[in-house]
């Protein structure tokens, strides 16, 4: 009953936050006032205010979509899996979320590919509640615990299950709890609804600043990804239906041009300069804390949008460790169809 009640509260809070995020995305789009004579594209982002998906809003704020000649509307959902659902339903033309969904979907007979690879590491952090700091020292201690994820079937859910299995804990031996991100995640940890959980900045920065929890696994850097997952783990990306990409190559190229320009811009500017370009309400813990959150996560990003060569193999290995649709079927997954470098390599 307690779990059901917690889930209900989290769901209500998620709906509220999603509405606010969508309003923020729409207002930013309108504020830009850029009447672009070009194709209209809707992109659903798995949390516009998450630092791991920062290139989406930053590209719009810098005017790079307009410069590339594409009219982009950004929408927001609190979890990448919801962005994927919107993409498959045809509600949007693109999704900004984790690359691992492309492998998951191919195993289910859906053809989706990463068109621009934003990152080479997950950018995720497993945070342990301060109340459980002595009880949870590694993934081996996940047994019997309540572990927070953004939503069931999300990339945080995937990674949590992998860390458990890697450390000898079966998926059935712990309870994944959908608590979203941001304030809903923090509230769940404060109230004891979760013992630990996986989230990203700026939520991580807020948790540490308030001494609510401590870091167990830090996957915001390539080094952290290799230590926890055995290799580079390409995560946040722009992914789209393969059929749509094939039929709209000119538009896909414009999107790649805009995003690659932003990734290069990020690599030559300080975290404070990047933070200054973002909506003010993203810095809920203050401008300085927000800039520090960006600094901590910045190493995960690529500078050119190209898929790291060995990255897809790492992602497949992680999913194959626990995912029923992938485990034992690795040989049938064609990784070359889960991403394309055609457009990013041509981006100026």
Query: Domains of the chain by range and CATH?
Result: 37-120+233-346 (3.40.190.10), 124-229 (3.40.190.10)
What distance in Å separates the CA atoms of residue 17 and residue 12, rounded to the nearest whole number?
A: 9
Per-residue HEC secondary structure of 146-208 comes to EEEECCCCCHHHHHHHHHHHHCCCCHHHCEEEECCCCHHHHHHHHHCCCCEEEECCCHHHHHH
Say what the pLDDT of residue 182 is: 92
For the beta carbon of residue 94, count every other beta carbon within 10 angstroms: 28
Tokens of 141: 């201690």
Are 195 and 160 contacting, i.e. CB atoms less than 8 angstroms apart? no
**Vertex 276: Cα angle to 296 and 240 (nearest 5):** 70
Q: Write out the E strands in the chain.
A: 40-45, 71-76, 94-98, 112-117, 124-129, 146-149, 175-178, 196-199, 213-219, 236-241
What's the distance, Cα to Cα, between the start and end of the chain in Å?
Answer: 55
- Give the span between the Cα atoms of 290 and 274, in whole angstroms: 10
Tokens, residue 164 = 């458990």
Q: What angle do CA 224, 217, 84 make, to 5 degrees?
A: 85
Edge-to-edge strands of the sheet including 112-117?
Answer: 71-76, 40-45, 94-98, 236-241, 112-117
**Cα 265 to the center of its chain, rounded Å:** 20
**What pLDDT is attached to residue 30?**
37
The predicted structure's pLDDT at residue 80 = 62
Rounded to 10 degrees, the C-alpha dihedral 328/332/335/338 comes to -100
pLDDT at residue 77, rounded to an integer: 84
Q: What is the pLDDT of residue 22?
A: 41
Cβ(142)–Cβ(174) below 8 Å:
yes
Residue with tokens 């390599």: 345
Question: What pLDDT tens digit does each residue of the chain (348 aa) get?
Answer: 334 444 443 444 333 333 334 434 433 443 444 567 799 999 999 999 999 999 999 999 999 999 999 999 999 987 667 788 899 999 999 999 999 999 999 999 999 999 999 999 999 999 999 999 999 999 999 999 999 999 998 999 999 999 999 999 999 999 999 999 999 999 999 999 999 999 999 999 999 999 999 999 999 999 999 999 999 999 999 999 999 999 999 999 999 999 999 999 999 999 999 999 999 999 988 999 999 999 999 999 999 999 999 999 999 999 999 999 999 999 999 999 999 999 999 997
């Amino acid at each position: 009953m307690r779990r059901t009640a917690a889930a209900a509260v989290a769901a209500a809070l998620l709906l509220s936050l999603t509405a606010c995020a969508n309003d923020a995305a729409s207002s930013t789009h309108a504020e830009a006032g850029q009447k672009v004579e070009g194709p209209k594209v809707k992109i659903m982002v798995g949390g516009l205010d998450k630092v791991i998906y920062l290139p989406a809003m930053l590209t719009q704020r810098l005017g790079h979509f307009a410069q590339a000649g594409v009219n982009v509307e950004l929408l927001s959902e609190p979890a990448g899996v919801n962005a994927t659902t919107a993409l498959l339903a045809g509600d949007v033309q693109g999704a900004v979320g984790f690359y691992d969904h492309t492998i998951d979907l191919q195993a289910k007979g859906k053809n989706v590919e990463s068109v621009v690879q934003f990152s080479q590491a997950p950018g995720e952090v497993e945070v342990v509640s301060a109340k459980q700091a002595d009880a949870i020292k590694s993934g081996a201690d996940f047994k019997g615990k309540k572990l927070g994820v953004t939503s069931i079937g999300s990339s945080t859910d995937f990674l949590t299950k992998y860390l458990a299995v890697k450390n000898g804990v079966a998926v059935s031996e712990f309870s994944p709890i959908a608590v979203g991100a941001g304030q809903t995640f923090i509230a769940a940890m404060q109230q004891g609804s979760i013992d630990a959980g996986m989230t990203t900045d700026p939520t991580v920065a807020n948790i540490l600043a308030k001494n609510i929890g401590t870091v167990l696994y830090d996957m915001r850097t390539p080094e952290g990804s290799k230590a926890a997952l055995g290799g580079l783990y390409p995560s946040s990306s722009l992914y789209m239906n393969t059929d749509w990409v094939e039929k709209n190559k000119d538009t896909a190229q414009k999107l790649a041009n805009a995003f690659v320009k932003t990734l290069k811009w990020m690599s030559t500017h300080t975290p404070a300069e990047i933070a200054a370009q973002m909506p003010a309400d993203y810095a809920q813990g203050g401008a300085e804390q927000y800039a520090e959150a960006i600094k901590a996560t910045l190493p995960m990003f690529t500078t050119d949008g190209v898929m790291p060569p060995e990255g897809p193999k790492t992602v497949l290995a992680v999913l194959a460790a626990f995912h029923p649709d992938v485990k034992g079927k690795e040989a049938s997954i064609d990784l070359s169809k889960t991403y394309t470098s055609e457009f990013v390599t041509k981006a100026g």
